[in-house]
């Protein structure tokens, strides 16, 4: 299941060209996007668009990026829940 979802995410159009630093960074964040989409039962494209925007903003302030995917996912989850109501 996870491989299927990640493969679907790889086909996405990147809206923020500078969102991912390299292939490893891209893979880590795409997995987070896929998990969020599955958890929230939303289209991957919708989650990806929001995630990339939040990632780009949070990365500007981040000193250490080891847990950035966790913090970005938390903020995206909050934003998508607010939009749903």
Token code pair at residue 39: 């958890």
Confidence of residue 2 (pLDDT cuts 50, 70, 90): very low
Instruction: Give the whole-angstrom CA distance, residue 2 versus residue 4.
Output: 5
32-85 tens-digit pLDDT? 999 999 999 999 999 999 999 999 999 999 999 999 999 999 999 999 999 887
| pLDDT value at residue 16 | 57
Confidence of residue 8 (pLDDT cuts 50, 70, 90): low
Which single residue is written with the structure tokens 């989850």?
77
Specify the pTM: 0.79
Find out whether 77 and 54 touch, Cβ atoms under 8 Å.
no
Sequence ranges of the domains in the chain: 2-84
């Amino acid at each position: 299941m996870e491989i299927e979802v990640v493969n679907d995410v790889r086909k996405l159009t990147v809206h923020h060209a500078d969102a991912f630093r390299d292939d490893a960074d891209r893979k880590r964040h795409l997995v987070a996007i896929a998990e969020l989409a599955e958890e929230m039962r939303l289209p991957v494209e919708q989650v990806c668009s929001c995630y990339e925007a939040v990632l780009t903003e949070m990365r500007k302030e981040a000193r250490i990026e080891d847990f950035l995917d966790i913090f970005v996912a938390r903020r995206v989850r909050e934003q998508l829940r607010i939009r749903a109501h």
